[in-house]
Amino acid sequence: MKARNFGRSGRQVSEIGFGAWAIGGTWGEVSLDDAKTALHAALDSGVTFIDTADSYGDGRSEKIIAEVLKERGGERPFVATKIGRRLSPHVASGYTKENLNAFVDRSLANLQTDALDLVQLHCPPTEIYYSPEIFAIMDEMVNAGKIRSYGVSVEKVEEALKAIEFPNVASVQLIYNIFRQRPDELFFQQAKKRDVAVIARVPLASGLLTGKMNKDSVFDKEDHRTFNRNGEAFDKGETFSGVPFDIALDAVEDIRKYVPGDVTMAMFALRWILMNEAVSVVIPGAKNKSQAESNAHASDIPALSNETLAALKEIYQHKIAPYVHQRW
């Protein structure tokens, strides 16, 4: 497993991390045993970065992480969590000093730690990025020793660009994959310039880029791929990266032609992300041991050729960009 610098934090993390949304909820049923086994397998494979949120299973994901780390002992990996989405309604006025501190205190308890490595504002309303007082509250928590650093998780590239104007924003998490290439136009340049860490989420486009789906694929009723295809529960871009399902399946078949026979499409899609040096860590999810191990192995496969990168760019521009590029 290769490591990368996590922005200006002074820490290095595995370039493949573990996205802990699936072990929390809204990805269909994942048993406690499967969730713990998946996380153990990722850590055994060299993963040193875990991303979670207080809203994943209303704390279930954070608690499972705490259990696994307690079982393993030794040096703790870098654990990033997110806060804000438990607000109901999720509106800017809820981002108060009292609420933010309460969210952090709950995550400290769930994760069984004295200080959180990284706390990210969890896709807050756009107006939050124009509210210096919110970032001042985060600064206070750093100064108090409750959190070591903070960042943001965003829906839109414009939000990411605005967020990094605040000098103490240490990281930005956003969707970046073969179906969502816009961050590489301007944002990555600015993030590198400011030494801001980049966390690439939804790397497999909700499973589309595993190449295992077809028009007859069926998902559990509790899976967001069933109930959020049109943004009914949260931003549409989080489900299948916002690409219409049939359009995406057609593009996947074009991509399949460039996948070497000795690697899976999922590994290929993760390796495509890692070709960009602006990315600090990519965080695929896993619901079981084999998925976690396969994700980790993407760090080991050879770099993609310039010809392959150009072909994937063309597929994106002609088949995918019209549906997503200007929206996010």
pLDDT at residue 25 in the model: 80
> Does the residue 148 lie in any domain?
yes
Length of the chain: 328
Its pTM stands at: 0.96
> Does the residue 328 lie in any domain?
no
Model confidence pLDDT, tens digit, residues 220-237: 988 999 999 999 999 999
Residue of 56, 95, 129, 150 marked active site = 56
> Does the residue 231 lie in any domain?
yes
- Identify the three-state secondary structure at position 175: strand
Model confidence pLDDT, tens digit, residues 116-156: 999 999 999 999 999 999 999 999 999 999 999 999 999 99
% of the chain at pLDDT higher than 90? 97
Which strands, in side-by-side order, build the sheet including 118-122?
18-19, 49-51, 78-83, 118-122, 150-153, 169-175, 197-201, 281-282
Domain that holds residue 112: 3-323
Whether the pLDDT of residue 184 is over 90: the answer is yes
- Identify the three-state secondary structure at position 204: coil
Phi, psi of 285 (to 5 degrees): -90, 170
Q: Mean pLDDT of all residues in the chain?
A: 96
> Does the residue 193 lie in any domain?
yes
Task: Taking residues 202-218, report their average pLDDT.
Answer: 95
Whether the pLDDT of residue 303 is over 80: the answer is yes
Whether the pLDDT of residue 28 is over 80: the answer is no
For residues 45 and 236, is the Cβ–Cβ distance under 8 A?
A: no
- Identify the three-state secondary structure at position 49: strand
Q: What domain count does the chain have?
A: 1
pLDDT at residue 26 in the model: 76
Residue 19: strand pairing partners: 51, 285
How does residue 239 score in pLDDT terms, banded at 50, 70 and 90? very high
Instruction: Report CA torsion sign: 97, 199, 229, 186.
Output: positive
> Does the residue 81 lie in any domain?
yes
For residues 78 and 118, is the Cβ–Cβ distance under 8 A?
A: yes
Model confidence pLDDT, tens digit, residues 61-85: 999 999 999 999 999 999 999 999 9
CATH of the domain at 71: 3.20.20.100
Is there a catalytic annotation at residue 56? Answer: yes
Cα 260 from Cα 106, distance rounded (Å):
45
